[in-house]
A and B are shown apart, each in its own frame.
Chain A
Amino acid sequence: MAKQINVALIGNPNTGKTSVFNRLTGLNQQVGNYPGITVEKKQGICKLPRGVKAHILDLPGTYSLNASSLDENVVIELLLNKNDKDFPDVAVVVTDVENLKRNLLLFTQIKDLGIPTILAINMADRMKRKAISLDVEQLEQRLETKVALISSRKNDGFENLKELIIAHKTLSTKPSLNASVIAPEYFDRLRKAFPNQDLYKLWLVITQDVNFGKLDRKEMKGVASFQTESTSNLKRLQQKETIARYQFINGVLKETLTIDTANAKDLRSRLDRVLMHKIWGYVIFFAILLLIFQAIFDWSSYPMDFIDSSFASFSEWTKNNLPAGDFTNLISEGIIPGLGGIVIFIPQIAFLFFFISILEESGYMSRVVFLMDRVMRRFGLSGKSVVPLIAGTACAIPAIMATRNIENWKERLITILVTPFTTCSARLPVYLIIIALVIPEQKVLGIISLQALTLMFMYLLGFGAAIFSAWALDKVLKIRSKTFFVVEMPNYKLPLFKNVGITVLEKTKSFVFGAGKIILAISIILWVLASYGPGDFNKASEIVQQQNISTNISEEEIETQIASFKLENSYIGHVGKFIEPAVRPLGYDWKIGIALVSSFAAREVFVGTLATIYSVGSDEEETIKNRMAAEVNPILGTPLFNFASGVSLLLFYAFAMQCMSTLAIVKRETNSWKWPMWQLVVMTVIAYVVALGAYQWLK
Chain B
Amino acid sequence: MVSIDLLVSLVPLFPLLGFLFVALNTRRLTQGVTAFIACGSVLFSFIISIALFVTLLGMPEGDRSISVTLFNWIAAGDFSASISFLVDPLSSLFLLIITGVGFLIHVYSIGYMHHDEGFNRFFSYLNLFVFFMLLLVMGANYLLMFVGWEGVGLCSYLLIGFWFKNQDYNNAANKAFIMNRIGDLGMLLGVILIFVHFGSIQYTEVFSKATSIDTTTLTLITILLFVGAMGKSAQLPLYTWLPDAMAGPTPVSALIHAATMVTAGVYMVCRNNLLYALSPATLELIVIVGLATALFAATIAIAQNDIKKVLAYSTVSQLGLMFLALGLGAFTSGIFHMATHAFFKALLFLGAGSVIHALSGEQDIRNMGGLKKYLPVTYVTFFAGVLAISGIPPFAGFFSKDEILASAFAHNKIVWAVAVIASLLTAFYMFRLFFLTFFGKERASKHAMEHIHESPKSITIPLIALAILSVVGGFMGVPEVLGGSHWLSHYLHPVFASSHDLIQTHHLSHTTEYILMGTVVAFTIVTIVIAYTMYIGKEQVPAAEGQPVGGLQRTLANKYYVDEIYNAIIVKPLYWISGVLDAVIERLGIDKLVNAFGGSVVEGSKITRLLQNGGIGYYIFVMVIGIVIILAYAVIR
Same assembly: no
Residues of A within 8 A of B (CB): none
